[in-house]
Amino acid sequence: MTTGTGVALCLALALAAGGARAADPGANPWFRAGQEAVKKAAAGTPTAHAKNAILFVGDGMGIATVTAARILAGQRAGGTGEENLLSFETLPYTAFSKTYTVDFQVGESAGTITAMMTGAKTRSGVLGVDETVARGDFAAAATGSLPTLLERAEDAGKWTGVVTTTTITHATPGGCYAHTPERNWEGDAKESPAAREAGFPDIARQLVEFKHGDGLEVAFGGGRAFFLPTAVEGGTRLDGRDLTAEWQKRFPGGPYLSTRAQLLALDPAKSRHALGLFAPSHLEFESVRAEKAPDQPSLAEMTAAAVDILAKSPKGFVLMVEGGRIDHGHHAGNAYRALTETIEFADAIQLARAKTNPKDTLIVVTADHSHTLSISGYPKRGNPILGLVVGSNGEEAPSNEPAKDLSGRPYTTLQYANGPGYTGASDAQPEGAKQFPHMPTKVEGVTKGRPQLTEAEAAAPGYLQESSVPLPAETHGGEDVPIYAGGPGAALFHGVQEQNYVFHAIARALGLETP
């Protein structure tokens, strides 16, 4: 073993053992600024103590996504849509979150969830570590790691959980319990050879080996492949370990679940710990789940089961729930799936609100970042949000004919600034369709000029909204995202705040941070 590898191994082992040489959050300028911002916000505002807290993260759920999903849900219910409200929009307090990371003007999920979970902004692509840790530098991860909200909660005797529609090791859920310089190290086969040789713990390992309190009580999502060895069908682990078996050994009586039927049959009265991995990778999109993957639970079902288990905690609980595939629908340039995922996300929040007491449970709903979706044109009131603009091409009285662009072609209300739906005049052929083979597309790659769209084509579930710039996948957006809050401590959420403020407000409400 070389000297460099030996040092890396020592640091990796230190991290696996709980990060004994972790960074001091109080010395981090972002952390200190967050503390000061909460103190300022709390001045003159009584902060009631919360026993429990649920952080809902709609991955990629920007303002345009909320508005469009609100309209779509209302139209699906038989209304015009605009007057509708999603369940979380009735929460009494709102704020805005600035989502940039220390190295990118437009952030991504790893750096942004780290801000919300640790109270300090950091680089894009890293989880649970401060900005001194360069992406991929596993040797620096132990000394740069920061305690997460869930770790603090476990240390205080609270129960904790993570629920997602992505892999449970994906950026947002991973940021709740893992400390790594690379968000893509979900399993050991995805680590760099040097990190794997040094024994650096991949994200799946860090979930099962979580050292704080008595470990995570609940973890529901996808990503089964990262927990099983290659000797097991569908497994990808190179170290030969079966982490699902290790979970069950660590928590006797704590079930490992792999199907929706098993989840629905779970008796929360008999379970304190539960691990549910319901797909090899991400769970199926909600819009096709019942047809393509009926053995997978919905986000609402996973959330309900998690709350039922965690609500038994005598000292309270902290739960993070992610609507993770909102983001995936947007990256594919497919608003239908993104908005359907948002509606399911709202349904999960409604269930959680019904199952908890607003007098002791703080509920915070936000996004990690936005996307480039826009709502434009002058469609008339009640016009199908997924359809063509029918109403006006300017500001004149609405008609019943589709509006036309300067070339005489109709266009849709929803569009993206970039992505695989580009239809401009060009001979280039991006690989957009190949990036998302599960997405049936009406417009594949670049064509020579905008199409003569029909209403039926625009409203089809697989239609890719047009984009201005051709890219293999649509990108994130950099504008502020909303925060909605209710329950004890919710009054702290007002104004425009840095994203790491979310951590400080929740921690203060729970009594997990010194005022």
Q: Which residues are catalytic?
A: 109
| Residue that is written with structure tokens 């840095």 in the block | 498
Distance between CA atoms of residues 221 and 227, nearest Å: 12
DSSP state of 297: P
Q: Residue 22 in 3-state DSSP?
A: coil
Cβ-based neighbours of 456, under 8 Å, separated by 6 or more:
none
State the number of CA atoms in the 13 A half-sphere of 321 facing the CB. 29
Q: Residue 182 in 3-state DSSP?
A: coil
Q: Can you read off the two tokens belonging to residue 205?
A: 């390992």
Distance between CA atoms of residues 237 and 241, nearest Å: 7
No. of helices (H) and no. of strands (E), the chain: 18, 17
Residue 418 dihedral angles phi and psi, to the nearest 5°: -150, 170
CB-based contact 318:158 (threshold 8 Å): yes
Q: Residue 430 in 3-state DSSP?
A: coil
| Residue that is written with structure tokens 């005022």 in the block | 515
Longest CA span, the chain:
77
**86-89 own/partner pairs: CB under 8 Å, 24+ apart:** 86/342, 86/343, 86/346, 87/346, 87/347, 87/349, 87/350, 87/353, 88/56, 88/346, 88/349, 88/363, 88/365, 88/484, 89/484
Distance between CA atoms of residues 416 and 338, nearest Å: 12
The total of other beta-carbon atoms located within 10 Å of residue 253's CB is 10
CB-based contact 229:241 (threshold 8 Å): yes
DSSP state of 48: P
- Of 244, 226, 245, 223, the C-alpha closest to 235 is 226
CB-based contact 277:168 (threshold 8 Å): yes
Secondary structure, 3-state, 442-455: CCCCCCCCCCCCCH
| Residue that is written with structure tokens 């096709």 in the block | 288
Residue 72 one-letter amino acid: L
